[in-house]
A and B are shown apart, each in its own frame.
Chain A
Amino acid sequence: MTTLVADTWALLWRWFIHLKRDRMSLSIGLMQPLFWLFLFGGIFRGFASQNAGFQQSFGNVDYLTFYTSGVLAFTTLTNAVLGGIPLVFDRETGFLDKILAAPVSRFSIVASRFIYVIFYSLLQTYLVLGCAWLMGVRFAANPLYVVVGVAVYGALLAAGVTALSLALAFLAPHHVFFTITGFFLTPLLFLSSAFVPLDKIPGAWRAVALANPLTHAIDPVRALLCGSASVGGDPNYLLHALVLAAFDLVCFALAVRVVRKRLD
């Protein structure tokens, strides 16, 4: 256990040096979710205020308040999906071989990227929460619960997705990695409850959205932001956590299988 912590910290130390030195990526990375909040949130909030029919779908909940939980979860999802990028380049440059030829725990490679993704996501999501508050979003639940909820459901979502991203990083060259991740990222957003409540999504698409782990990271946080009784928020906190945990287990099993096969 001590060695796992030491190995993870050694690798994490490297990712933090990257974060510190690559200020351009840090600045753009912090701003990107704000664009989602300001542009989409602003546009649809204005649209809802002028269209009673549209607003009716959200009850008495302000659209931006409704939509903020989608931005929070999608921000974490994006970081997790792209979490394997440094490993893709490490593999292509041969740096990964150096790491693998050292007596470093293989799990620490996953753990360090996971912790980094969570840390970076929290920087972004708390910034989003702060900006949303400045734009008039008010939290139904105690702000402490919101802060903790964002971290917990973000971590549960990121764990499995990061594992899959790292598995892909072990297999695919960078152009394939970007093609596959780009292919899945946007549909995952639109086939979730990010923009509209789950019960307002028509027919078969609702089943897809229900199977989408992003939905299970959005809805409990939405319940904290909008109030558990409000439309779109689902206060079944434990159920969502269990669904995400099951998703994580499947992703880990798949990732371990892929990485083991690759290392053989």
Chain B
Amino acid sequence: MNTLEVRDLVKVYDRGGDAVRAVDGLSLDVAAGETLGLLGPNGAGKTTTIRTIATLVRPTSGKVTIEGVDVVQDPDGARQRLGYVPQEIALDRMLNVREHLELAGRLHRLSGHEARTRAAEVLALVKLEDKAKVSAKKLSGGMKKRLDLGMGLIHRPKLLVLDEPTVGLDVEARLSVWDFLQSLKARGTAILIATHSMEEATRLSDRVAVIDRGKVARIGKPAELISGLEGDVLEVSLASGLPDEDLLAAAKGVAGIRHVSRTRDGFEVSTDKDPSIMAALLQVVASKGKAVASASYRKPTLEDVFRRAVGHAFSEGETS
């Protein structure tokens, strides 16, 4: 049995009479000791999925279970097994670090003694022992996030659900959170991370689920998803203007090119791992009267997986 099982999840919001399908038949699993990254632009349905798993949103249909416990039928049972860390750092400026952890423990039905004991353990785990009596408002951004994570862990959840865990953090704090999450995984905690950072998804996830318009467009290990693309990527940036359909059709006609898609300032193609195809491609661009600003040849990344899966660039979806 997987720690988390999501089956055919649908969430429809009523927005002033209009039905908006935020999540549209999404299914996924997370096993113990596994980290699954939910990758997708803003509005893809990541946060609604996370909030449904965290029992904060009631699903329209479908089923979510944590260690076999249904989040709708037995929400308290699911909450006992769940640690939830929302996107925004949410702390109480009146409480100190230790009090935050004790409060989180008590809210998860630990006795006063247990909450105090576990708070001491978690303080060590999140490396805030020397800040135990410091008010939360006086912590740095990275420390606040670690405390936030600690609050989600004090009851030793089987599943940790994080929504954009490093948004707004500087590089040092981000690396510190990533290290911490890696250490949790080693302890056997199942982790689900919603992120719109390709780097975060690649660094932390055993598997990645590409989410688009409320559905899982692709799911698998990052390396497998990337190798599944079969080919390298040629990127062409135009000096001015955007590629028209004529140019894209001509590019697609070049022998050895598998797939053509627009980018923000030009287009890119996938090839059969043959850099020499670059010359033929540049000739096609020139024949269509366009000037090339730059051209590059590279190995595919998760971003390319996303682009192929959903038919548009990651950054385009983010702004839509």
Q: Which residues of A contact B (CB under 8 A)?
A: 3, 6-7, 9-11, 13-14, 17-18, 21-22, 93-95, 97-104, 263-264
Contacts of A10 in B (CB 8 A): 103, 106-107
Most buried by B among A6, A7, A101: A101
Contact A101 B55 (CB under 8 A): yes
- Complex Cα distance, B78 from A180, in Å, reads 36
Contacts of A3 in B (CB 8 A): 109
In the complex, which residue of chain A has the Cβ closest to the Cβ of B55?
A: A101
Segment among B24-32, B87-95, B117-125 that sits at the interface with chain A = B87-95
Kindly provide the distance from the CB of A87 to the nearest chain B CB, expressed in whole angstroms: 12
* 23 A/B residue pairs, CB under 8 Å, sorted by A: A3-B109, A6-B106, A10-B103, A13-B103, A14-B92, A14-B95, A14-B103, A17-B94, A18-B94, A93-B90, A94-B89, A95-B90, A97-B84, A97-B90, A98-B84, A98-B107, A98-B152, A101-B56, A101-B82, A101-B84, A102-B79, A103-B79, A264-B58
Contact A93 B88 (CB under 8 A): yes
- Complex Cα distance, B103 from A9, in Å, reads 10
- Complex Cα distance, B95 from A100, in Å, reads 19
- Complex Cα distance, B55 from A97, in Å, reads 10
- Complex Cα distance, B99 from A99, in Å, reads 14
Contact A98 B109 (CB under 8 A): no
For this complex, into which size category does the number of interface residues on chain B fall? Answer: 20 to 34
Contacts of B92 in A (CB 8 A): 14, 95
Contacts of A100 in B (CB 8 A): 55-56
Contact A7 B94 (CB under 8 A): no
A103 in contact with B108 given A14-B95, A21-B94, A97-B56 (CB within 8 Å): yes
Contacts of B89 in A (CB 8 A): 94
Contact A98 B82 (CB under 8 A): no
- Complex Cα distance, B94 from A155, in Å, reads 27
Contacts of A18 in B (CB 8 A): 94
In the complex, which residue of chain A has the Cβ closest to the Cβ of B152?
A: A98
- Complex Cα distance, B91 from A99, in Å, reads 11
Contact B106 A13 (CB under 8 A): yes
Interface of chain A, main secondary structure:
helix
Q: Which residues of B contact A (CB under 8 A)?
A: 51, 54-58, 75-77, 79-80, 82, 84, 86-92, 94-95, 99, 103-104, 106-109, 151-152
Contact A17 B90 (CB under 8 A): no
Contact A94 B76 (CB under 8 A): no
- Complex Cα distance, B106 from A103, in Å, reads 10
Contacts of A101 in B (CB 8 A): 54-56, 79, 82, 84
Contacts of B99 in A (CB 8 A): 14, 17
In the complex, which residue of chain B has the Cβ closest to the Cβ of A11?
A: B107
Contacts of A6 in B (CB 8 A): 106, 109
In the complex, which residue of chain B has the Cβ closest to the Cβ of A264?
A: B58
Kindly provide the distance from the CB of B108 to the nearest chain A CB, expressed in whole angstroms: 5
Most buried by A among B75, B94, B95: B94
In the complex, which residue of chain B has the Cβ closest to the Cβ of A100?
A: B56
In the complex, which residue of chain B has the Cβ closest to the Cβ of A98?
A: B90
In the complex, which residue of chain B has the Cβ closest to the Cβ of A96?
A: B90
In the complex, which residue of chain B has the Cβ closest to the Cβ of A15?
A: B94
Kindly provide the distance from the CB of B135 to the nearest chain A CB, expressed in whole angstroms: 8
In the complex, which residue of chain A has the Cβ closest to the Cβ of B111?
A: A6
In the complex, which residue of chain B has the Cβ closest to the Cβ of A14?
A: B103
The 10 residue pairs across chains A and B that have the minimum distance between CB atoms:
A94-B90, A10-B106, A101-B84, A102-B107, A103-B79, A103-B76, A95-B90, A94-B88, A94-B86, A101-B54
In the complex, which residue of chain A has the Cβ closest to the Cβ of B109?
A: A103
Contact A99 B107 (CB under 8 A): yes
- Complex Cα distance, B92 from A22, in Å, reads 13
- Complex Cα distance, B109 from A99, in Å, reads 12
Contact A103 B80 (CB under 8 A): yes
